[in-house]
Amino acid sequence: MPRLLGILTGGGDCPGLNPAIRAAVLRAARLGYKCLGLKDGWKGMIEGASVPLGLAEVENIVGTGGTILGTSRTNPYKKEGGVEAVLANFRKLNLAAVVAMGGEDTLGVAARLNAEKKFPVVGVPKTMDNDLSSTDYTFGFDTAASVAMEAAERLKDTGRSHHRVMVLEVMGRHAGWVALYTGLAAGADAVLIPEKPYDKAALVSAVKAAHDRKGCALVVTSEAIDMGHDESEKLDEFGHMILRERGVGEKIAKTIETATGLETRAAVIGHIQRGGPPTLFDRILASRAAAAAVDFVHQNKFGLMASLRGEKIVGVPLQEASGTLKTIPSDLVELLDTFCPAGAEEASVHA
């Protein structure tokens, strides 16, 4: 009888999950395995909730957004009897291994189960935040930042027409990758990321200088910049704050309008970034990573994540990948001084 692989997708969905599921199923079939879909991430393992996952189910999903398996932010370590239920259902479903597709939280659970219970699991890195260590990129990011870039350009059109300052708030949690790439690619006049301390005076002067020069300005801000926040904010099962509730984009817009007198509008792109068809880059990265993860299973190399390093997909320990967040390195942060100089500096750049 063919051995059975369980596949799950956990955490925030992102474009690329469906091509990854398809790739895992196709590679598994080639290596003589069958697959079973586990519903809604680790929740499906806790509840033993599964869906058929064969070639027919993945036939037409390579270009679709979301995940056909569903997802959730369920943490078995935060549920009474959660880990025991995962182990019991693994046996009951007669699985040989689990392929977990997720970000730091989903893969953090995988790493812990593997280390503490010798659970046969491998990881496929996904997250629109691009903040997973030990891999150059995660799929989902390219699509999310491309969608945000287009939104930013649309805001520029309306801002130019009304001679306004436009502020775009993007997701990305505690790393500013989405904001940085969106802002640089759309030619924003200021980009606010959690890796660079918020400097109100520099922001105001950059916006004023841009508006004086061209009659409009665009600011891209990460949802996670620190403007001083309320410690009582709600946390999810992995201990993360729900950042959109901070309303950073609106706060930045008010700050700019009050300080400059310029008419300012804020827009929040939010979950629109997470839907829609994956880009070419994300489809290929997702397909390669998922196929490699199934290869690890076949080679009995559990506890690994399929990571992009340069042009190659390699195995890295799940522990290492989920241990620390990958934030923007200083050389990339410094690029902002060239493309988005604060006002006084900008005057000399444009002199």
Secondary structure class of 267 (helix, strand, coil): strand
Identify which of 225, 136, 107 has the alpha carbon closest to the alpha carbon of residue 172: 225
- The CB density around residue 295, as the number of other CB atoms within 10 Å, is 18
Least CB distance from residue 95 to ligand F6P, whole Å?
Answer: 27
Among 124, 149, 171, 340, binds ligand F6P (CB under 6 A): 171
Annotated catalytic residue, options 129, 189, 282, 295:
129
Tell me the C-alpha distance between 177 and 183, whole Å: 10
DSSP secondary structure, 3-64, as one string = EEEEEEE-SS--TTHHHHHHHHHHHHHHTTEEEEEETTTHHHHHHT-EEEESHHHHTT-TT-
Residue 16 found at the interface with ligand F6P (CB under 6 A): no
Written as one letter, the residue type at 252 is I
Backbone angles phi, psi at 8, to 5 degrees: -135, 150
Stretch that binds ligand F6P, among 64-72, 123-131, 157-165, 292-300 (CB under 6 A): 123-131
Residues 206-225 that bind ligand F6P (CB under 6 A): 223
Residue 173 found at the interface with ligand F6P (CB under 6 A): yes
Residues 296-335 that bind ligand F6P (CB under 6 A): none
Mask for 19-58, x = binds ligand F6P (CB under 6 A): ----------------------------------------
Stretch that binds ligand F6P, among 24-32, 168-176, 255-263, 286-294 (CB under 6 A): 168-176
Distances (CA, A) of 110 to 164, 302, 323, 324: 48, 10, 12, 15
| HSE, side-chain direction, 13 A CA sphere, residue 108 | 19
Six-digit token pair at 345?
A: 């500096």
Residue 192 found at the interface with ligand F6P (CB under 6 A): no
Six-digit token pair at 347?
A: 């005057």
Among 9, 114, 127, 205, binds ligand F6P (CB under 6 A): 127
Residue 128 found at the interface with ligand F6P (CB under 6 A): yes
Q: How many residues bind ligand F6P (CB under 6 A)?
A: 11
Tell me the C-alpha distance between 169 and 152, whole Å: 10
The gap between the terminal CA atoms of the chain, to the nearest Å, is 74
Contact of 286 with 17, CB cutoff 8 Å: yes
Residue 12 found at the interface with ligand F6P (CB under 6 A): yes
Least CB distance from residue 130 to ligand F6P, whole Å?
Answer: 10
Tell me the C-alpha distance between 42 and 112, whole Å: 13
Instruction: Clarify whether 129 is annotated catalytic.
Output: yes
Q: Which is nearer to ligand F6P, 186 or 243 (CB)?
A: 243
Q: Which is nearer to ligand F6P, 163 or 271 (CB)?
A: 271
Among 83, 155, 243, 340, binds ligand F6P (CB under 6 A): 243
Least CB distance from residue 34 to ligand F6P, whole Å?
Answer: 31
Least CB distance from residue 312 to ligand F6P, whole Å?
Answer: 26
Q: Which is nearer to ligand F6P, 37 or 172 (CB)?
A: 172
Binding site for ligand F6P (CB under 6 A): 12, 103, 127-129, 171-173, 223, 243, 274
Active site residues: 129
